[in-house]
Amino acid sequence: MAAARIEFESDFRPLQIYEQVSEKIRAEIRSGRFLPDARLPSERELAALFGVGRPAVREAIGALQNEGLVTTKRNSGTYVASTAAQLLTSASAEMTGAGLASDFSPSATLDVRLILEPAIARRAAVHKKRDLQAEHYLSQMETLTDVADAEEVALWNNSDRLFHRQLAVMTGDALLIKIAGEIAATMDQSLWKRLKDDGIHDPTRIRLYVAEHRLIYEAIVTGNADAAAFYVEQHIHRVQRDIAPQ
């Protein structure tokens, strides 16, 4: 895979790969190569065009969706919004991202979680204690019945990210709790929510995620450290496949 050239914002923060890709797509819209209402090339084609991986393209498209520049139709593809050109030329829209805080890359966040969370599960399992707050988040996740209901989905997403943070609380380690809090904050960013909602969109998938959380929790409270770490690792791999496919 070709390495993307690093560019810098005005505050000298290096642009993340997905930000570079989203800016290249904006440039194609400005130039007229990607016309309003036209279908964008597939994720695979865009990855080849820009010399990056598909996760970066998925994240870039999610960021552009948040800006209203593109729309995605399930089983059809991603299309340039009819108002994209006007949005890009509007001084008030501030769509270029220069000087603005950006979301962390979801694929990078998942890579860090894959390193950290199995170790957290192992450490929590040492204590073999039930946790009322973790059980509360599990119960909230189980209440989701309508994936089309924005409030239910928001509650499920919030309970999901806070459940993972609570596993660190169950370790009793202040530093792990602080690190897990930072990760939970990245899972509350708009790009993460967009990609997760797009990738996990049916009741069957939601129930599978809840079951995986239950397996993680029960392994921890019964003191089975190996199983807890294994279930966490498998769960994060599933999230990677669903929201950041290779």
Q: State whether 118 and 203 are in the same domain.
A: yes
Indicate if 204 and 238 belong to the same structural domain: yes
Assigned domain for 43 exists: yes
pLDDT in tens, 41-83: 999 999 999 999 999 999 999 999 999 999 988 888 999 999 9
Mean pLDDT for 124-142 is 96
Looking at the structure, tell me whether residues 114 and 221 fall in a common domain.
yes
Q: Helix/strand/coil (H, E, C) string of 205-227? A: HHHHHHHHHHHHHHHHHCCCHHH
* Of the residues 28, 59, 89, the one at which a domain ends: 89
**Among candidate residues 89, 121, 151, the one where a domain is terminated:** 89
The count of residues in the chain is 246
Count: domains in the chain:
2
In a domain, 98, yes or no: no
pLDDT given at position 25: 95
The verdict on residue 12 lying in a domain is no
Looking at residue 246, its pLDDT comes to 66
Cα–Cα nearest to 67, from 104, 7, 19, 122: 19
Q: Are residues 117 and 34 in the same domain?
A: no
pLDDT category, 238, cuts 50, 70, 90?
very high
User: What percent of the chain clears pLDDT 90, i.e. is strictly above it?
Assistant: 68
199 compared with 244, residue with greater pLDDT: 199
**CATH at residue 207:** 1.20.120.530
Percent of the chain whose predicted confidence (pLDDT) is above 70:
89
Of 9-18, 90-99, 131-140, give the lowest mean pLDDT range: 90-99
Residue 238: CB atoms within 10 Å: 15
The answer on 121 and 176 residing in a single domain is yes
Residue where a domain terminates, one of 54, 89, 124: 89
Q: What is the residue range of 179's domain?
A: 106-243
| pLDDT of 22 strictly over 80 | yes
Is 94 in contact with 100 (CB distance < 8 Å)?
A: yes
pLDDT of residue 97 exceeding 60, the answer is no
Query: Does pTM top 0.75 for this prediction?
Result: yes
Amino acid 13: pLDDT: 66
Residues 73 and 156 in one domain: no
78 & 116 share domain: no
Q: Are residues 40 and 142 in the same domain?
A: no
Report the CATH number that the domain containing residue 47 is assigned in CATH.
1.10.10.10
Mean pLDDT over each residue of the chain, to the nearest integer: 88
- The answer on 238 and 186 residing in a single domain is yes
Same domain, 168 and 235: yes
DSSP assignment string, 108-154 = HHHHHHHHHHHHHHHHHHTT----HHHHHHHHHHTT---TT-HHHHH
Tens digits of residue pLDDT in 188-233: 999 998 898 888 778 888 889 999 999 999 999 999 999 999 999 9
Other C-beta atoms lying within 10 Å of the C-beta of residue 54: 17
What confidence tier does 101 reach under pLDDT thresholds 50, 70, 90? low
